Amino acid sequence: MSRGGATLALALGFFLGAGAAAAASPEELARGELLFHIGGCTNCHTAEGGPLLAGGDPLETPFGRFYAPNITPDPETGIGRWSEADFLRAMREGRSPSGAPYYPAFPYTSYAKMSEADLRALKAYLDTIPPVRRPNREHELGFPYNVRWGLLLWQWAFHDPAPFRPDPTKSEAWNRGAYLVLGPGHCAECHTPRTWYGALDDSRAFAGGRLGKEVIPNITSDPEKGIGRWTAGDLRGLLVIGIKPDGDFVGGDMAKVVRNGTAKLPEADREAIVEFLLSLPPR
């Protein structure tokens, strides 16, 4: 291509890119906001009392302490310079714009199941968050976990970037619930125990266990170990206000999942989650 042609292509690319960003419709932004809520982005990326999405409080894990970075559109300290493709790659492949692999403390392992249209809507919504200048903190990890490139092997072995595939034998609501739980809701990231390698143990899906110091309940339909005795109404109460059938309220991380996530969903989506959860095979 001639220089002039390249310049023209660049200018056109810029024009189309800018046009696409400006063209996010109110419907797309509303869809992005819903995904932002159920995705729980703020639970990790916003510090207690701090500016929205400008970087989170320490996340304690068995591998060390992580600090979720600034994901506001600030061009210097946030992700303001990211293209839509950069964002899709981070959410699906767990790679930074320069190709560096992310730690699975960022649950891209679940977000990868989101549809392309949903990821675009989420990016469009994030672009509307006020930019905040706040430099990221380094994670505090011991050897060998501090060797980021070691994650390439982990991703190769354990990360499946395939999007969610609906099950045609199930209802539309069940599939919507499955999508929200397994994809943006990333419920398995806490409720499914992990193997020694830190990958989700699918043979024990949603069977709970320990996560660092927290005890995670079994939410399968097992009547003894899980929530098999809960009614749809019980689950609704939990997903709307965090109340359990015994009258207690959930605490800790789950309180945030409810307050910032499931409580903000449209009723039909919550009902879809209820239908899916009640169908989880006992484990």
Name which of 4 and 53 has its Cβ closer to ligand HEC.
53
Contact 114, 182 (CB under 8 A): no
In angstroms, give the least distance from the CB of 279 to ligand HEC.
Answer: 13
Least gap, CB of 191 to ligand HEC (angstroms): 6
- CA R_g for the chain: 20
Buried/exposed 132-144: b ≥16 CB within 10 Å, e otherwise: bebeebebebeee
State the Cα–Cα distance between residues 153 and 53, nearest whole angstrom: 29
CB of 277 to ligand HEC, least distance (A): 6
Q: Rounded to the nearest whole angstrom, what is the least distance from the CB of residue 132 to ligand HEC in the complex?
A: 13
Amino acid 105 reads: A
65 vs 170, beta carbon nearer ligand HEC: 65
Distance in Å, CB of 4 to ligand HEC, minimum: 35
Judged by beta carbon, residue 86 or residue 170, the one nearer ligand HEC is 86
Residues 6+ apart with CB under 8 A from 27: none
Interface residue list for ligand HEC (CB under 6 A) = 39-41, 43-45, 59, 66, 68-69, 71, 79, 90, 96, 102-103, 105-107, 111, 122, 181, 185-187, 189-191, 214, 216-217, 219, 227, 238, 244, 250-254, 257, 261-262, 273, 277
Sequence-distant (6+) residues with CB within 8 A of 104 are 94, 151, 154, 159, 198
> Which SS3 state, helix, strand or coil, does residue 243 take?
strand
